[in-house]
Chains A and B, each alone.
Chain A
Amino acid sequence: MERRELLKMVAVATGGVVIGGEFFLAGCKSKDAEVAGTAFSSDNIALLDEVAETIIPKTATAGAKEAEVGKFMTVMVNDCYEEADQKTFHEGMKKLDEACNKMHGHSFMKAEPAHRKELLTSLDKEAKEYMKNKKKEDPNHYFLMMKQLTLLGYFTSKPGLEQNFNYQPVPAKYDGAIPYKKGDKLFV
């Protein structure tokens, strides 16, 4: 898949712009642009794995955790996000826990799957609403970042591609009208 198309898709799927200012389209920031004190801990990665897993859970196919999306998110935030977005993302992990506490009375890691889903559903709506109304200079919404990175990370991962789709590295032919019915795997 061409990268530009891929990134456009991420933007559409999450209802807006791709976070990171110029983000993928204009390249990543270097390590030296990292904000001091914004390194990710293993607890952070565990949290991000669970957030990703709630967005893309294990079903008949692997979930986001198995695709190591938590770790992927940290690499992308470190290498590709602008400083302001890095800060928003780190604060976002705390905000997400606070929101969970408010809604369910405990942290996200302690929440049961249904509660996690309820929380993220409400955060998704909040993020979409926020992004629609925000001024250009306002920070992006952390949940939009998490969702975008989850989709990109999962659907370009080995289990994400191989288990959900008919992934063909070398298709060898082109056919513009293969019969398709619901339940068939999509060629990618």
Chain B
Amino acid sequence: MADNNTYDAIVVGSGISGGWAAKELCEKGLKVLMLERGGPYEHLKDYKTATKDPWEFTHRGATTAQQKKDYPVIHRGWAAYDRIMDAWVNEIDSPYTEIKPFTWWRVYRMGGRSILWGRQSYRWSDTDFEANAKDGHGIDWPIRYNDIAPWYDHVEKFAGISGSLEGLPQLPDGKFMPPIPLNMVEKDVAEKIKNFYKGQRHLINSRTANITEPLSERTNCQFRNRCWEGCPFGGYFSTQSSTLPAAMKTNNLTVRPLSIVTKILYDKDKKKATGVEVLDASDNKTYEFNSKIVFVCASALNSTWLLFNSATDVFPEGLGSNSGELGHNVMDHHYNLGVSGEIDGYTDIQEQGRRPCGFYIPRFANFTGDSKKRDFVRGFGYQGSASRQNWGREIAELNVGGEFKDALCEPGNWRIGATGFGEILPYHENKIYLDKNRKDKWGLPVLAMDAEIKDNEMKMRVAIKEELKEMLDAAGVKNLSTYDSGHAIGHGIHEMGTARMGNDPKTSVLNKHNQVWDAMNVFVTDGACMASASCVNPSLTYMAFTARAADHAVNELKKQNL
């Protein structure tokens, strides 16, 4: 296939973006080398806990002391769960520096975070693409919705996104499979919200990358809600279930695990990349691989780490640093806050099956029809669900014994709650950079994170809580309780930015086709490319950007422009 370590294309990373790059490039006939820094993780075979029963787990969810010691970052949130601890990066081997608190959830393993992602899949609209130009934060996006809409179509059809057609301008409809249903309580709350706000606000089905009809070799979602352990049915989109098998089928793909890409090799005369340098994580030896094009899909911050480390003899701050924007404008979605409460009635129904999702309330603030004066720009959405309480609830006047047991086995009241997801603005001063004084296990410099949410986000958080309280109250939900646990950047696991796209090489790292201005055969298509954050979950947009860039790359190769 490829002699002397030479390929048509190299893809750095095997997560959602890397998987898409490999699939698209392979299907277009290129010989592709996919490099993954972590070890293998095979579809089905390596989903070791996926079919175990709850009682087969010694600590029924808890993690061990050694894990607590090894994974301090993961223990800041909800991801420290005995079944999935093998997924997370070893934090002692791969540290990072927090100038300000920053939660970085990493998976260094084949498939990256595509196994563990939240699967919520929403399109951006022109409200998002025009936001920077309109309110002056960040720089204007070099594209609009029409540029990416066909690519949303393309990736949705292959990935399998279930959702309802709503005709909402802020949340464009896509090529959906039938939605995962709302339960009766959610439907009624949706109706009450619609009436109360005269059709300006909507509670809709989650749009999720869990399939509701068979797709290719994959079986539809079986409603186990254990996606994180890997799905034995291929019920949701991951590299393993979807893009990797498609790429392998072409016989054009070579996968090399345990390959830490340390730099992009750069020919300063041709102003092009010639390949990459790899440090083999198992034997610590260095290898070179050559290619016509390089797709950088190492996850937002690691993609920028790779640029920092590349072509430093020509650009002291790294490939793409000419603009002064490389590493800047790091964003995320701020969350960790919400409201929940009780709802009377519906005692004659229960749910069957465990959904891997719930409902979504699309953005309404600072959008057409929003009647309120806001003291912040941009907007937010909510994700939530309603369900009946079970054995964990308190039973008044019953403490111990048979009646207590019987009462716990009966269903309790219905509860409904949701969590806000807010847009974070692109601030130049929110940045990451190489901490040259600190090295990881392989002697490579680590990233330093210096970023925080600011006034606009703090004001938005107040509105997120107040608006949700008002909506649930209007829908008849009682005993509302609000929580707000604060937000460190990265905690939303939607870290993005640091190598933004733009129209001008003076203010951006990438052009409108995700090409590095200073090396047009290098494409960065993961979250690093983002010029703003919107408030919707980002992975679907990375898929679309990646497929679009792959198409452009192959066309340019044909024209011999790269």
Contacts and interface: CB of A to CB of B under 8 A. Distances in A.
A in complex with B? yes
Interface in B38-72: 51, 53-55, 58-69, 71
Contacts of B292: none
Interface string B380-405: 00000000111111110001111011
B318 to A, nearest CB: 37
Contacts of B347: 180
Given A27-B68, A171-B223, A161 B62 contact: no
Contacts of A181: 348
A120 B181 contact: no
Contacts of A185: 409
B404 A178 contact: no
Contacts of B349: 176-180
Interface string A150-188: 011101111001001100111111111111111011111
Contact of A174 (B66, B180, B185, B411): B180
A13 interface: yes
Interface string B168-184: 00000000000011111
A101 to B, nearest CB: 19
A7 B183 CA distance: 24
Interface residues of B, number: 61
Nearest to A23: B62
Given A9-B393, A176-B182, A28 B65 contact: yes
Contact of B400 (A23, A124, A184, A186): A124
Nearest to B183: A176
Contacts of B406: 59
B410 A182 contact: yes
Interface in B201-226: 222-225
B353 A30 contact: no
A186 B410 contact: yes
B220 to A, nearest CB: 9
Interface in A17-67: 22-33, 54-57, 59, 61
B441 interface: no
Given A4-B78, A10-B392, A153 B60 contact: yes
Q: How large is the interface on A (under 10, 10 to 19, 20 to 34, 35 or more residues)?
A: 35 or more
A173 B399 contact: no
Contact of A27 (B58, B62, B348): B62
B225 A178 contact: no
A178 B60 contact: no
**Which residue, of A3, A13, A188, has the highest number of chain B Cβ atoms within 10 A?**
A3
B55 A155 contact: no
A186 B349 CA distance: 10
A13 B392 CA distance: 5
Nearest to B60: A156
Nearest to A4: B78
B148 interface: no
B75 interface: yes
B411 A117 contact: no
A54 B65 CA distance: 31
Contacts of B391: 9, 13, 151, 155
B355 interface: yes
A89 B53 CA distance: 28
A113 to B, nearest CB: 9
B474 interface: no
Given A9-B389, A124-B400, 20 more contacts: A7-B61, A9-B391, A15-B394, A24-B62, A26-B75, A27-B63, A28-B67, A28-B68, A30-B64, A32-B65, A55-B400, A57-B402, A76-B62, A79-B59, A169-B51, A171-B224, A174-B181, A177-B184, A182-B410, A187-B350
Interface of B: 51, 53-55, 58-69, 71, 75, 78, 80-81, 180-187, 222-225, 347-355, 388-395, 399-402, 404-406, 408-411
5 contacts: A27-B65, A28-B68, A30-B69, A79-B62, A180-B348
